[in-house]
A = this chain, B = another copy of it.
Amino acid sequence: MRSHYCGDINKSHLGQEVTLVGWVNRSRDLGGVVFLDLRDREGLVQVVYDPDLKDVFDIACTLRSEFCVQVKGIVHARPDSQVNSQMKTGEIEILGKQLTVINASAPLPLSMDNYQNNSEEQRLKYRYLDLRRPEMAERIMFRAKVTSSVRRFLDSNGFLDIETPILTKATPEGARDYLVPSRTYKGQFFALPQSPQLFKQLLMMSGFDRYYQIVKCFRDEDLRADRQPEFTQIDIETSFMSSEQVMEKTEQMMRGLFQDLLNVDLGEFPRMSYAEAMKRYGSDKPDLRNPLELVDIADLVKDVEFAVFNGPANDVEGRVAALRIPTGASLSRKQIDDYTKYAGIYGAKGLAWMKINDLAAGMDGIQSPVLKFLNEPIVNDIISRTGAQTGDIILFGADKANVVAEAMGALRLKAGEDFKLLEGQWRPMWVVDFPMFEKINGGFHAVHHPFTAPRGISAEQLAADPGVAISDAYDMVLNGCELGGGSVRIHNAEMQSTVFDILGIEAEEANEKFGFLLEALRYGTPPHAGLAFGLDRIIMLMTGASSIRDVMAFPKTTTAACPLTNAPGFANPVQLAELGIAVVEKVKTEE
């Protein structure tokens, strides 16, 4: 029905007759000539109908937005004065010779031009219309290009695309599982996978050596802007490769992706230990575009007569850190109060600060509510260590180390945005050398997951002092977002049992949940390592979208509903009886 896509017509087609199909993006009668902007997935082209061809012109006059039409016409060059350099097809127009309305459109239930006026709910209910907007369509098409590029890279590097089950057993990621009642085994349930973690490890045990899958994963969690009940991972696992080799290979993949699709050279990704990232940026996923850094000053304030500082400074779990914001002395009292509130969200109990109004004026040039606790040598040391200049402000965080990191890390990001300090467009990195465990309420928890191998120690050494063990794990971070993370996995049963012990997973529970994995580890399991990328987040970053909803064709609302299909819905009582379950509570939560 077509000879070309609309968006593909250009000067090389001058004089040719073309047949196009698409949607009326806009149609205007200007001085007795109808100008039709015809749209398909590849772009817009202008079609002109003049009254000489009366029958055709009359049809053109009836066109309204979003009619689906077929156009035949001759490609002409636009007069110089009408060339539109903003438009891919802006040098030409089609002189319309025929026009067929394939399917009319009723007036639209949402605005295509001023889409900002459409509520999120409307956009999702009429998703098929919202996706007609070029901005949305381009993101979905870009996504297809990304997956295609990733697949080509992995295929050509010997990775095998292998499917793992969706109906499976509860997985160990710790979030809430979606359950699926079994009909054959009444009273029992499948779980939808939070990731194919165990299956990909089993595939390595089978000897497939290099696996990948672009795969749906599921978490029944309360949603935030960048979370969806179902999301997509680029899931990778390899045998006989070190963490170094996995990082190298996947970095190469990501570099290729940015090169192919955005013409961006990401360069080599710097590596940074978890400890250094927390120290300098207060985050395990630092945004390196932001030049601000935290500076530790506990040693300087150990002896000041100010409990807020000297408490944490003398506490082995405490931390006192300074953050210098260039030109920040311009902040008003109100703005500093706002920063204090913001830090409070992340657990900071207050926010000490120091303005460097005039460096040359010595202590007279310094303004700070805590100045009375600090003497000149300390102030000078702080200024010198932070590199503060006249006109800067220094913010202080003093608390447990994790609170300082979180609050000062958040302030660092906020100040970077507020003062427009971000440098460079793309700043990838690897964060490595994570601790194996973190202590929460006196118990150890896995920082990655319970299958992550420690780096360079035996099971006995790990058991002896789990708190200091470093894992052989790695996270790829871009512009402060974690794109993906992975690790070398444990490949022998003794180490795996030791980790379960440390995590307080009883032998019986371990056996019930992961017995098949422990069993599988007994039969010549190869060393293996892998990684999973969050595809939705990668696309979101690459397209500059503000939500992962905007890079998925059919996302759900923040209450995990689909206004388009009205899912979820009530079930047929007969089917519930077949499944051996009953609804005990019917509450329709308001959105």
Binding site for B on A (CB under 8 A): 1-2, 5, 21-24, 39-41, 66-68, 102-106, 108, 125, 127-129, 131-132, 137, 140-141, 143-144, 147-148, 151, 155, 160-170, 176-192, 198-199, 202-203, 205-209, 216, 218, 220, 229-230, 232, 239-241, 491-492, 515-516, 520, 522-527, 552-554, 556, 559-562, 564-571, 575, 578-589
A568–B66 alpha-carbon span in the complex (Å): 48
Are B524 and A137 in contact, CB atoms less than 8 angstroms apart?
no
Most B CB atoms within 10 A — which of A137, A232, A554?
Answer: A554
Are B181 and A179 in contact, CB atoms less than 8 angstroms apart?
yes
In the complex, which residues of chain B have a beta carbon less than 8 angstroms from the beta carbon of A579?
Answer: 179
In the complex, which residues of chain B have a beta carbon less than 8 angstroms from the beta carbon of A552?
Answer: 163
Nearest Cβ on chain B to A123's Cβ, whole angstroms: 12
Q: Which residue of B lies closest to A229 (CB)?
A: B167
Are B161 and A575 in contact, CB atoms less than 8 angstroms apart?
no
A565–B230 alpha-carbon span in the complex (Å): 22
Are A140 and B162 in contact, CB atoms less than 8 angstroms apart?
yes
In the complex, which residues of chain B have a beta carbon less than 8 angstroms from the beta carbon of A232?
Answer: 163
Nearest Cβ on chain B to A210's Cβ, whole angstroms: 9
A334–B189 alpha-carbon span in the complex (Å): 49
Are A216 and B166 in contact, CB atoms less than 8 angstroms apart?
yes
In the complex, which residues of chain B have a beta carbon less than 8 angstroms from the beta carbon of A523?
Answer: 66, 105-106, 108, 128-129
Contact pick for A207, options B22, B556, B559, B575, CB 8 Å: B22
A559–B170 alpha-carbon span in the complex (Å): 19
Are B163 and A208 in contact, CB atoms less than 8 angstroms apart?
no
Given contacts A208-B140, A567-B190, A568-B190, contact A67 B108 (CB under 8 A): no
Contact pick for A567, options B102, B167, B560, B586, CB 8 Å: B167
Nearest Cβ on chain B to A370's Cβ, whole angstroms: 46
Contact pick for A580, options B187, B208, B587, CB 8 Å: B587
Contact pick for A169, options B125, B132, B567, B581, CB 8 Å: B567
Q: Which residue of B lies closest to A181 (CB)?
A: B179
In the complex, which residues of chain B have a beta carbon less than 8 angstroms from the beta carbon of A179?
Answer: 180-181, 571, 575, 579
Given contacts A103-B526, A163-B552, A554-B164, contact A21 B240 (CB under 8 A): yes
Are B569 and A189 in contact, CB atoms less than 8 angstroms apart?
yes
Are B39 and A207 in contact, CB atoms less than 8 angstroms apart?
yes
In the complex, which residues of chain B have a beta carbon less than 8 angstroms from the beta carbon of A186?
Answer: 583, 585-587, 589
Are A586 and B187 in contact, CB atoms less than 8 angstroms apart?
yes
Are B565 and A168 in contact, CB atoms less than 8 angstroms apart?
yes
A128–B206 alpha-carbon span in the complex (Å): 5
A68–B525 alpha-carbon span in the complex (Å): 7
In the complex, which residues of chain B have a beta carbon less than 8 angstroms from the beta carbon of A527?
Answer: 1, 102-103
Given contacts A161-B144, A207-B132, A520-B128, contact A580 B585 (CB under 8 A): yes
Contact pick for A581, options B128, B166, B582, CB 8 Å: B582
In the complex, which residues of chain B have a beta carbon less than 8 angstroms from the beta carbon of A198?
Answer: 565
A180–B232 alpha-carbon span in the complex (Å): 19
A588–B580 alpha-carbon span in the complex (Å): 11
Are A561 and B168 in contact, CB atoms less than 8 angstroms apart?
no
Nearest Cβ on chain B to A285's Cβ, whole angstroms: 25
